[in-house]
Amino acid sequence: MARVVRFHEHGGPEVLRIEDIDIPRPGRGEIQIRVKALGLNRAEASIRAGTYIETPPLPSRLGLEAAGIVETVGEGVDGFAPGDAVSVVPPISMVRYPAYGELATFPAGHIVRHPPSLGWEAAAAVWMQYLTAYGALIDIAKLHKEDIVVVTAASSSVGLAAIQVANMVGATTIAVTRTSAKRQALLELGAAHVVVSAEDLEARLKEITGPQGARVVFDAVGGPIFEPLTAAMSRGGILIEYGGLSHEPTPFPLSVVLAKTLTLRGYLVHEITGDPARLEAAKAFILDGLVSGSLKPVIARTFAFDQIVEAHRFLESNEQFGKIVVTV
């Protein structure tokens, strides 16, 4: 038996329950870990609320990121042994491989020995944010040091990861945030410029980028922000959309897209995690950054496992700067 988080109906954070259930041994090609920390993601709030791309049978478990100690190694798995300290690359399905619990099982290909310098909390905060940022900026956009990149929702864990990834390759980052409250923190983290979205966004971005414009935009918001973002992009630029935080309709800026031959591209981190070759390249890039110190997970707040409801409430508050972690 092990304690896990489940929900029996869709709804707000209050539907989450901690329950004792039997956890089967790992199957062939799988590894079971004793979880020490969990990284929280908006996808988990979405699946709990019934709005995620994956529809689970109820009752359902959830969770995408964890760090802990290898408990049991399934048949056909080499290179890992009980007692190894590991962290987890988010699986394609959190219904099939849920992380929220004292024990969690994952495909062996998603288990990583992280640098020993990382504590459990930092290790649980690595893979979703850096894989998402790497996949968009490096794998797809081919970001390089001459580029200007605009990052919206910049104080989110993925936004902060994008700033660090861009800095690793020498690009210039413009962080876009809702209020001025997080301006200084974003500058201290490495953003070259910070723009508050309530300002005249198009004018501010054009003031910063000049005639060059921003070749890359990494957006989690959508909605009306599309028009000023594309207006400030360079010819042949690419806007990568990985979210949809805005509840307003997203206009298609046809004349600008045509005039500048822009690419507007939807993106899911599954493109990276579902492709072994691309995933290995991403792991190498991220591990290099962690070892060198160029990539440093920012922890917004840590909760105890028994506080999972409070942790989800904080997740939905939009007050955090960085990653929310739950210790087990």
- Model pLDDT for residues 77-129, shown as the tens digit of each residue: 999 999 999 999 999 899 999 999 999 999 999 999 999 999 999 999 999 99
Rounded to the nearest 5°, which phi and psi values hold at 35? -75, 135
Residue pair 36/84 in contact (Cβ under 8 Å)? The answer is no
The mean pLDDT of 169-180, rounded to a whole number, is 95
Residue 42 belongs to a domain: yes
Name the residue with tokens 């038996």.
Answer: 1
- The total of structural domains in the chain comes to 2
Rounded to the nearest 5°, which phi and psi values hold at 121? -65, -45
Residue 287 belongs to a domain: no
Residue pair 118/183 in contact (Cβ under 8 Å)? The answer is no
Residue 265 belongs to a domain: yes
CA nearest to 218, candidates 279, 272, 276, 160: 160
Cα dihedral 313, 184, 190, 121, rounded to 10, equals -30
Distance CA 153, CA 22 (A): 39
pLDDT at 245 (0 to 100): 87
* Tens digits of residue pLDDT in 216-274: 999 999 999 999 999 999 999 999 999 888 889 999 999 999 999 999 999 999 999 99
Q: Where residue 70 sits, what CATH number does that domain have?
A: 3.90.180.10
Whether the per-residue pLDDT at 46 is higher than 90: the answer is yes
- Residue 280: Cβ within 10 Å count: 11
pLDDT band for position 55 (cuts 50, 70, 90): confident
Written as one string, the DSSP assignment of 74-108 is -TT--S--TT-EEEEPPPS-TTTS---BSEEEEEG
Distance CA 130, CA 107 (A): 20
Distance CA 260, CA 245 (A): 26
Pair (153, 231) in one structural domain: yes
Pair (233, 266) in one structural domain: yes
> Where among 253, 270, 287 does a domain terminate?
270
Q: Where residue 175 sits, what CATH number does that domain have?
A: 3.40.50.720
Cα-based angle 272, 143, 118 (whole degrees, multiple of 5): 60
Residue pair 286/112 in contact (Cβ under 8 Å)? The answer is no
What's the pTM?
0.94
Pair (149, 38) in one structural domain: no
* Tens digits of residue pLDDT in 182-228: 999 999 999 999 999 888 999 999 999 999 999 999 999 999 999 99
Distance CA 302, CA 68 (A): 16
CB within 8 Å of 119: residues ≥ 6 apart: none
Distance CA 192, CA 290 (A): 21
